[in-house]
Each structure stands twice: as structure tokens, then as C-alpha cells.
């Protein structure tokens, strides 16, 4: 009830309740899932949260009819002897200590499913260093029940990658979250996701997205893309020919199997009446579990893959921020944050998320707490963008006429060891690194207000919403909302989170 009521007034509700899963009378259940890097003793554990390594093994272990995986890249098995790998030069003993065995277990569970003749589909981006499509190729090799495909989004959108991290088992159980199919994502990178079991209604919708990506990978790109002037973002770019960024008269008919044109939707992301599902979700991982049906939703990126039916992921983030009650708190966790694009030829200015934050700070007196990762591959201009957002606090109190009681608070999240990552050896010499490459980072992507939780696979940079494949699950389920708040609070109050401060006026600026 509560704040959801007003949202109900402009949302259609999609049918309801009982899942008719083939394997008996299973109810839809959800658990939050985390990976906690080793050597973080000062982080308070949250009871009832599952570990990513277990969940991925269970998804593979329980599958009997189908297993569909979307991955950016694969490295479940460590590669200490490949000089191109960030694992290079670490000893067997060190890898044990890093928890690399968990990745091996997930790979074995997949191999077992493949050997059980479960129909498996593996869809991924390619070209991530060194050769991160070896594992799906090996799984597919000699097994007609395993299909693998590489999808290059840059062929379709000019830039971008498959960045969603999704497992769907038997059209019933699902993982959506930040964890890559990488052993390091299980024990050396901090991840957040959700595990849903017995949730056919949700799984089947994620599968539609899956099938659309699969179809895209088999289409002739040149016949289905156009270069256009994007009026909304003020750049020239390549898009699929059915994109709403193209003049209606010049658009093609979408070749995707499940694509529904919605006449009144003109341009993105103004899909204002996405269908949400009213689903009863049990939460065995939380004591005070509520089982009243609550609104849940899926959102996707890029907009051309929404088949006209769902919210864009950007809109779902914005709506989560705006769902905050007056005087309430929004908590946001992301690895990267930029109020612009990061990977395009022409640079896009992107105020969508920071604008939503400033709006609730001003009009609702909301407190907005943001955690951004500081790590080895930190984007140089993150600090300037964060300080630009912090300036909202100055604007908030800039006039006696303002009734603005909200506040933005931002902290960098620093996983210890982040400044000592990379291969242990280079050209035969020891590097002195103490952890493998691309580790020791807070990689989760989510937002949670007082009433709504949004669990995503996308970072807060323009590209993730317009050229990159991403999936989010969101819900008003109170137990999930409160447990996600707990996860955030444990990080926020830990010694690993360090405030970002806007210099007071009058202070000298250092260069």
C-alpha cells in the first residue's frame, strides 16, 4: 500500500499471483545474493543473504529442461599460466587463498548440466582480454545440447557490450545481478544480485529478452541498422532500424519475435505505463517476511530491445529514486558514476540520474546516499561529476526562500588491496601485486528507497542505458527492500567507505 497506491493509478496491473511451475506447487521465493571479497574483516555480515557461488551452482544443478545464460565474458577457471591474464604468476596456494576454487565448482556444475543433456544456451560479448569465450566454446564443443553465441552490440549501436549477468533455469529460477561469470566475481569482487526460484512469471519475461538478444545475434546487422541524428542526446549514432530515435516514417518493422509496437510511445524513455506484475514473493532469507502480493517489475536496456512493453532501465532507476517518501532516504550503489557517456565517439551529457536525485532533495527533503567504487580502473573524471552533484546541497540552501531540507551524501568505497592488483609477474619479473587484475572493487549496481528496491546489472554511465545490454529486477516487496537497505548500510557505515567532500567556498583549490 502506502506510496505504491499513487503509482497504481497510472500503472496497469498485469494479472496475478500463483505460479504454475511444472515441478509441483512451488511458490515464488526470493533471496538477495552477495559476493564478499576475502580479507574484508571489518564488514558486518547480513544474515539470510546467499552467496553468489552457491546460487550459480544451484541454478546449474537444479536445471533439467533448460539453462540460459547471458554473460559479458567467461573466466570461471583461473588462468595462472596465461601471461595475458590478470591471474598470471599466482601460485596454486595463492589462488586457493583467493577462493578461485569456487569458480571451478561453478564451471563443474555447468559441465554436469551439459553432460546431463540439459539444453543450454550461452550468449556473451566477445573480445574481452585475453580470450574470454573459451569456456562457452569448450562447453559447446561436441555437445549438440549446448549452443553458444557471441553478440557484438557495437555492430548494432556503434559501441557497447552485452553487460547483463543473467541465469535462467527451467524457465522458473533466475539470477539477476552484478556478478560476471568469473571466479573473481565470487570471492574477489563485491557483488549484489537476486535469486528467484519458482518464479515462472518473472523467468518467462526475462526469457523474452533473452530470445530477442539471441535473435539479434543471428540477424544481418547491415540490413537492420541506420546512422541517425539522435535528437534527444544530440549526437550522430548508429541504432537498430526500428529504434524510436528514428523518424517514425523511416523506421523499419522490428524483426524481433516478441516485439509489440505501442502507438502512443514516442521516443524513449517516456514509456509511462509499463506493466508491473503483482506477485506474491516469499523471502526465506528475511525473518519478518511479508507475503502479500507486491508490485514487481523488470526493466531493460537498450530501449530498442524492450519490445515496446517494458520500462527502460534508465526510467526504472529514476522512478526508484522518485519513489522515496517525503523526508525519506534513497540509497544508491554503483561501481562507476559519470553524468555523461564514457565510451562513445561523441560525448553525451547525461543528467538523468543526478537530476532525479536533486529533484527529491529539493522537493521531498530526501536524503540520498551514494556509494561509488574507487579502484584500479577508476574513471578519472568521476570526482568532478560527483562534486557537481554535491553542489546541489549548496543550491538547496542558497536562498532563504528555499524550503529545501534534503541532502546528498557521497562516499567512495575502497576495497583494501585495490591499489595492488594485476598479474603477479610481467616479462619474467615479479610485479609486487598482491591480488589478480580487475579485483578488489565494489561492483554492485542497485538503488533502494523506503519502498522500492531496484537490482541492476548496469553502472550509472550513459552508455549502459543506450548502447549496452542490461537487465534489472525491481520490487516493492518490503522484506527485500529492508534487507537491501541493510546491505547498503553495512557498507556505508564500514571503514571501507570514505566521504567525498565538496571544498567549502573560500578554500584554496589544489590542482
133 binds ligand NAG (CB under 6 A): yes
Closest to 302 (Cα-Cα) out of 156, 125, 123, 149 = 156
Q: Is the Cα torsion angle 86, 91, 97, 100 positive or negative in sign?
A: positive
Q: What gap in Å lies between CA 214 and CA 210, rounded to an integer?
A: 6
C-alpha cell at 217: 545475434
14 binds ligand NAG (CB under 6 A): yes
**Site string (453-472) toward ligand NAG, x via CB under 6 A:** --------------------
If the CB atoms of residues 61 and 99 are measured against ligand NAG, the closer one turns out to be 61
> 3-class DSSP state for residue 142?
coil
Cβ 135 to ligand NAG, closest distance in Å? 10
If the CB atoms of residues 56 and 396 are measured against ligand NAG, the closer one turns out to be 56
Subset of 200-239 contacting ligand NAG (CB under 6 A): none
436 binds ligand NAG (CB under 6 A): no
**Site string (47-86) toward ligand NAG, x via CB under 6 A:** xx--------xx--xx------------------------
# chain residues binding ligand NAG, by CB under 6 A:
27
| Cell 564514457 found at | 342
DSSP letters for 286-306: SSS---S-EEEEEEEESGGGS
Cβ 121 to ligand NAG, closest distance in Å? 11
Residue 340 DSSP code? B
C-alpha cell at 237: 549514432
Cβ 56 to ligand NAG, closest distance in Å? 10
Cβ 196 to ligand NAG, closest distance in Å? 10
Q: Answer yes or no: are the C-beta atoms of 127 and 161 closer than 8 Å.
A: no
Helices (H), 327-460: 352-364, 382-396
Cβ 451 to ligand NAG, closest distance in Å? 21
Q: What's the length of the chain?
A: 511
Q: Answer yes or no: are the C-beta atoms of 176 and 168 closer than 8 Å.
A: no
Cβ 457 to ligand NAG, closest distance in Å? 21
Which one of residues 3, 7, 149, 228 is an interface residue with ligand NAG (CB under 6 A)?
149
Cβ 227 to ligand NAG, closest distance in Å? 26
C-alpha cell at 386: 560527483
User: Within a 13 Å sphere around the CA of 34, how many CA atoms are in the beta-carbon half?
Assistant: 21
380 binds ligand NAG (CB under 6 A): yes
C-alpha cell at 109: 556444475
Footprint on this chain of ligand NAG (rule: CB under 6 A): 12, 14-15, 47-48, 57-58, 61-62, 133, 136-137, 140-141, 148-150, 197, 262, 275, 285-287, 309, 380, 419-420
Amino acid at each position: 500500500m502506502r506510496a505504491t497506491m499513487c503509482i497504481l493509478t497510472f500503472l496497469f496491473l498485469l494479472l496475478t499471483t500463483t505460479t504454475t511451475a511444472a515441478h509441483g506447487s512451488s511458490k515464488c521465493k526470493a533471496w538477495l545474493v552477495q559476493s564478499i571479497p576475502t580479507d574484508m574483516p571489518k564488514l558486518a555480515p547480513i544474515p539470510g543473504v546467499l552467496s553468489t557461488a552457491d546460487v550459480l551452482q544451484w541454478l546449474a544443478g537444479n536445471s533439467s529442461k533448460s539453462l540460459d545464460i547471458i554473460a559479458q565474458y567467461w573466466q570461471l577457471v583461473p588462468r595462472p599460466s596465461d601471461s595475458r591474464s590478470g591471474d598470471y604468476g599466482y601460485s596454486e596456494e595463492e589462488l586457493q587463498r583467493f577462493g578461485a576454487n569456487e569458480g571451478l565448482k561453478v564451471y563443474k556444475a555447468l559441465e554436469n548440466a551439459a553432460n546431463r543433456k540439459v539444453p543450454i544456451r550461452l550468449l556473451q560479448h566477445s573480445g574481452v582480454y585475453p580470450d574470454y569465450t573459451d569456456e562457452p566454446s569448450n562447453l559447446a564443443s561436441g555437445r549438440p545440447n549446448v549452443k553458444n553465441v557471441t553478440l557484438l552490440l557495437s555492430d548494432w549501436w556503434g559501441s557497447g557490450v552485452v553487460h547483463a549477468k543473467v541465469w535462467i533455469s527451467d524457465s522458473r529460477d533466475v539470477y539477476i545481478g552484478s556478478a560476471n561469470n568469473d571466479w573473481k566475481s565470487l570471492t574477489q569482487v563485491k557483488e549484489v544480485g537476486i535469486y528467484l526460484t519458482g518464479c515462472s512469471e518473472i523467468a518467462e519475461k526475462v526469457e523474452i529478452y533473452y530470445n530477442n538478444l539471441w535473435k539479434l545475434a543471428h540477424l544481418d546487422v547491415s540490413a537492420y541498422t541506420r546512422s541517425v541524428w539522435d535528437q534527444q542526446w544530440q549526437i550522430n549514432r548508429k541504432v537498430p532500424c526500428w529504434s524510436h530515435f528514428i523518424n517514425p516514417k523511416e523506421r523499419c518493422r522490428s524483426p524481433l519475435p516478441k516485439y509489440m509496437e505501442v502507438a502512443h510511445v514516442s521516443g524513449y524513455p517516456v514509456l509511462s505505463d509499463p506493466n508491473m506484475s503483482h506477485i506474491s514473493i516469499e523471502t526465506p532469507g528475511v525473518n519478518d517476511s511479508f507475503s502479500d502480493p507486491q508490485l514487481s517489475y523488470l526493466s531493460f536496456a537498450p530501449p530498442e530491445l524492450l519490445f515496446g512493453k517494458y520500462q527502460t532501465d534508465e526510467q526504472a532507476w529514476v522512478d526508484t529514486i522518485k519513489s522515496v517518501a517525503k523526508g525519506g532516504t534513497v540509497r544508491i550503489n554503483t561501481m562507476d558514476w559519470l553524468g555523461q557517456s564514457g565510451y562513445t565517439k561523441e560525448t553525451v551529457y547525461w543528467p538523468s540520474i543526478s537530476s532525479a536525485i536533486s529533484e527529491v532533495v529539493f522537493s521531498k527533503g530526501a536524503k540520498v546516499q551514494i556509494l561509488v567504487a574507487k579502484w584500479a580502473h577508476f574513471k578519472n573524471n568521476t570526482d568532478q561529476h560527483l562534486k557537481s552533484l554535491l553542489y546541489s546541497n549548496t543550491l538547496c540552501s542558497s536562498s532563504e526562500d528555499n524550503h529545501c531540507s534534503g541532502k546528498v551524501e557521497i562516499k567512495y568505497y575502497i576495497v583494501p588491496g585495490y591499489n595492488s592488483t594485476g598479474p603477479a609477474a610481467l616479462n619474467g619479473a615479479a610485479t609486487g601485486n598482491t591480488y589478480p587484475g580487475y579485483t578488489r572493487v565494489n561492483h554492485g549496481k542497485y538503488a533502494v528507497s523506503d519502498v522500492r528496491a531496484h537490482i541492476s546489472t548496469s553502472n550509472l554511465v550513459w552508455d549502459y542505458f543506450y548502447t549496452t545490454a542490461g537487465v534489472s529486477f525491481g520490487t516493492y516487496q518490503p522484506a527485500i527492500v529492508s534487507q537491501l537497505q541493510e546491505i547498503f548500510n553495512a557498507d556505508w557505515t564500514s571503514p571501507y567507505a570514505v566521504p567525498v567532500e565538496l571544498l567549502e567556498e573560500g578554500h584554496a583549490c589544489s590542482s
